Amino acid sequence: MFQASKVIDYIKIAVQNADINYLTTHSFLDFNRVISETTGEYQKYVVAKHHFCQIKVYDSGFVQFSGSIHKMWNSIHGIKAPNYDKLTKRQKSTYKGFNGNQFTIDNIIEIRNYLQFLLGCKPHEMIFQNIEFGVNTTLDFNPNQFIKGLLYHNGTMFENKYNRSFACVPHDRYTLKLYNKSLQYGMPTHSLRVELHYKRMEDLKVCGIKTFADINTSTLSKAKDQLLKRFDEVMYFDKTIDKNSLTKHEKRLILRYANPSYWMDDLQSNHRYREKKKLTEMIQHKSKNLKQQIRESIIQKCVTINRLSKSEIV
């Protein structure tokens, strides 16, 4: 059984026609002038933190909201990470919120309505500057088993952190990340996060997304397609390949195939296709095909995320 959660998480939006007086007089928002640690100079904006997100109001009148709207939703509803009670007092003081559970389109619309109240603007006045699409999958296997087999994406090797439980590929216009969500939050089930962070919003024209007013079942479905497109481009070595089913020649091949340096350093880019095809065929026929399992779970849950139960998008 596979499950996944959330399509949108981190966002950065520019607020048009903001009512600065309305915004800065909220009794529950505490705006402070930021001082540069390097120069000691006052920054040209005030900032308020709110449910693990932040609002910047610049002296010029420009207003910017940024943060994880999934963490915001959980914080508003008092939902904490499964391992929160096990954190030390010091760890709790630097707690950064939780975004490992399900986050549906109803929840996204609820946050959009909340931001209308908070920022004093309409959805079409919330212009996306950065946006992150992603899915949390719940799997029958340890996500590290897949992450540690990652080789490259579109000609670029993965960068690994946290004992290879986190991998990312930064490109000029976007960053692809895959990491062990269950390890991060001490979750009882295995959870892999697949995430696409857009750096340039013009790349989202294909999804029809420019402002928060554009978020609906159709545009989120297109965003899911873009996420799957990038995930499909991932090249990996499947550690569940049954070596007993391989010929002697294939056993020699997989020793090379499991090494990212072989693909990036030993093979010229125009020679990768043939070897990639051989490895892909072995994965399809002689392994548990972890990538395909993850792909199917993404599709399955994105359908659930996109099913309105309480709200209608206008």
C-alpha–C-alpha distance, residues 170 and 177, integer Å: 8
* 276 token code pair: 């990639």
* 38 token code pair: 């390097």
C-alpha–C-alpha distance, residues 265 and 82, integer Å: 42
AA letter at 166:
F
pTM of the model: 0.89
pLDDT of residue 201: 84
pLDDT of residue 303: 62
AA letter at 15:
V
Taking the alpha carbons at both ends of the chain, their separation in whole angstroms is 34
Angle between helices 217-232 and 290-305 (to 10 degrees): 170
pLDDT of residue 194: 95
**Per-residue pLDDT for the chain (314 aa), expressed as one digit of tens each?**
333 345 799 999 999 999 999 999 999 999 999 888 888 899 899 999 999 999 999 999 999 999 999 999 999 999 999 999 999 999 999 999 999 988 888 999 999 999 999 999 999 999 999 999 999 998 999 999 999 999 999 999 999 999 999 999 999 999 999 999 999 999 999 999 999 999 888 888 889 999 999 999 899 989 999 999 999 999 999 999 999 999 999 999 999 999 999 999 999 888 899 999 999 999 999 999 999 999 998 887 776 545 544 444 33
Helices (H), 81-186: 89-93, 105-119, 143-147, 181-185
pLDDT of residue 2: 34
Where are the chain's structural domains? 3-35+46-240+288-305
pLDDT of residue 6: 53
Inter-residue long-range contacts of 163-168, CB under 8 Å, 24+ positions, other chains counted? none
Question: DSSP E strands: which ranges in 140-294?
Answer: 150-153, 156-157, 159-161, 166-170, 174-180, 190-198, 234-236
